[in-house]
Amino acid sequence: MGTGSMENGDVYTTDTSAAMLEFILEEGVSIPEQVPAMVRYIHQWLMANQFSEHRTLLDLTEAQPADVVIALLRVAPTCDRAAMTMWKTILCSPRTAEQAYLILLDVLENWPEHSTCTSNGDNIGVFALAATVVMWKILHMPCIPRVVTMHFPRLFMHLLFQVFFSTLDMSEDLNAFWKECQEQHGLATSPNRFAVQTLKALLCQMHHEEVVVEMECKGGWDTLLCADTHHYAMGLLAR
């Protein structure tokens, strides 16, 4: 009943939400088909309320990590304020960080879309670039989750591939999605340059600032953004 009434704005009031979240906690984990709708509800609840409720989201993620991660990317692909609160909760908890992060990496490596079917039968793909937006915001947190440093090599390689693929090909749908991201986050850059910025942020977080500076001095980052010179820039980065 609760997940079916989400068009009614009254369900997002603080008092009603508390009762709804308690219902989700008691019933939701045992009904996988309802998890995507519950993720949408929690997101809308956070949009309407200033404080957050972590226990329900962590229980859902621990029980159905793939459903929660994919559903959240579908609900808020541009990673708004409420979505970022949810990502921080998921990726900073030892209960959920590892599994959720590995699923996020799976999405990031599949250009341009990652397709998977959630428990409710939804097989709509999610853009790999949506996962990159999440990572970009995570990497600008004052303290990044430990799981990011644990899987640094894999994330580094996925971002490099994304720079290459976004330089070669950008579909209409992907361009439309990127325009939404630009409007929401004030980004004045192209998708491939954004992937480079995320890559640079990752290197700095891993204390490889000297690599970022040296590539900048040699024009390596700009060279990486051109299909004709990408191979040379990759060699420069490797050295």
In angstroms, rounded to a whole number, what is the distance separating the alpha carbons of residues 191 and 25?
38
**CA neighbor of 77 nearest in space, from 152, 185, 158, 239:** 185
233 pLDDT above the threshold of 80? yes
For residue 75, how many C-alpha atoms fall within 13 Å in the half-sphere facing its CB?
27
* Residue range 67-71: mean pLDDT, rounded: 97
In angstroms, rounded to a whole number, what is the distance separating the alpha carbons of residues 204 and 75?
30
29 pLDDT above the threshold of 70? no
Which one-letter amino acid corresponds to residue 184?
A: Q
Phi-psi sector, 126: left (phi>0), alpha (psi -120 to 50), beta: beta
In angstroms, rounded to a whole number, what is the distance separating the alpha carbons of residues 71 and 77?
9
Q: Tell me how crowded residue 27 is: count the other CB atoms within 10 A of its CB.
A: 13
Q: Virtual CA dihedral for 45, 46, 49, 54, nearest 10 degrees?
A: 100
* Residue range 143-166: mean pLDDT, rounded: 96
Supply 21's token pair. Answer: 């979240």
Share of the chain above pLDDT 90, in %: 76
β-strand partners of 126: 114
Q: What is the pLDDT of residues 70-87, one digit of tens each?
A: 999 999 999 999 999 999
Q: What are the backbone angles phi and psi of residue 187, rounded to the nearest 5°?
A: -90, 125
* Residue range 39-62: mean pLDDT, rounded: 84
Tell me if the bond preceding 112 is cis, omega within 30° of 0: yes
In angstroms, rounded to a whole number, what is the distance separating the alpha carbons of residues 208 and 226?
23
2 pLDDT above the threshold of 50? no
Share of the chain residues as helix, strand and coil, in percent rounded to the nearest 5: 70, 0, 25
Spans of all domains in the chain: 3-207
* Residue range 122-146: mean pLDDT, rounded: 96
In angstroms, rounded to a whole number, what is the distance separating the alpha carbons of residues 44 and 24?
14
- Length, in residues, of the chain: 239
Q: What is the pLDDT of residue 228?
A: 95
Rg (CA), the chain: 19
* Residue range 168-178: mean pLDDT, rounded: 95
27 pLDDT above the threshold of 80? no
Q: What is the pLDDT of residue 5?
A: 47
108 pLDDT above the threshold of 50? yes
In angstroms, rounded to a whole number, what is the distance separating the alpha carbons of residues 110 and 158?
9
Q: What is the pLDDT of residues 188-218, one digit of tens each?
A: 889 999 999 999 999 999 999 999 999 999 9
DSSP element (H, E) containing 114: strand 113-114
* Residue range 52-66: mean pLDDT, rounded: 87
1 pLDDT above the threshold of 70? no
Q: What are the backbone angles phi and psi of residue 114, rounded to the nearest 5°?
A: -105, 125
